[in-house]
Amino acid sequence: MRQAYETATVAVMERDAAPSELRTSRLVLRAWRADDREPFAAMNADPEVMRWIGSGPLDRVASDGLRARLRREWSRAGRGLWAVERGDDGTFLGFCGLTDPAWGGPGLRDELEIGWRLTRSAWGQGYATEAARAALGVGWETLGLHSAIALVHPDNERSLGVAANLGMRVAGTTRHAGTGWEVLVLRAHRPADTPGTRGPSAAPG
């Protein structure tokens, strides 16, 4: 799936720790394990997977460094990117979750990011949407997020499709500092019927 590294914005009501594991009808979003290193590195080295990601393909050292950073974020913040596996056979598929953005224009670095990246073998099966919906549910109900954004290259049709499935709409643009890409900022708002919503005043003004 030509996944841009995507993003979740937010105004926060209360911050609780995200669960270490989530299950959907087909997927398990879970803590990182030592045996994820090889399939994670293979995914990050794939030029098609990394086509719309500013870093481009990663070598093994860079991939291991990214994995270590993701694990540190969970320890520090109590939330981050889960490893994603297929529920019926445990196959590693990639990652998805809520994380600190690695880049963004004014104000975006103060927000959270909902990111996903999947191996090519997992593309076209709705896994990214399924995992991202589960992650956003934690954002709304556990972390108290009021809104979420995604940062997507305008040519990244697959990620734009996922964002549309999540109910996101274009809210502006920002520029990737490393590549100079102008990317779309898409936004979804916390559903009004989410448990814990505090009426109209829950949404930021």
Nearest residue to 52 (alpha-carbon basis) of 166, 160, 172:
160
Q: Using CA atoms in the order 116, 4, 53, 141, what is the torsion angle rounded to 10 degrees?
A: -40
* pLDDT at residue 107 in the model: 64
Is it the case that residue 154 has pLDDT exceeding 90? yes
- The neighbour count for residue 151, using CB atoms within 10 Å, is 29
Orientation angle between helical segments 37-44 and 60-77, nearest 10 degrees:
120
Q: How many angstroms separate the CA atoms of 148 and 140, rounded?
A: 9
Query: Using one digit for the tens of pLDDT, what is the confidence trace for 124-142?
Result: 999 999 999 999 999 889 9
pTM, two decimals, is: 0.83
Query: Where residue 6 falls among pLDDT bands split at 50, 70, 90?
Result: very low
Q: Which of 159, 174, 155, 10 is nearest to 96 (CA)?
A: 159
Q: What is the pLDDT of residues 17-32, one digit of tens each?
A: 899 999 999 999 999 9
Residue 51 three-state SS? coil
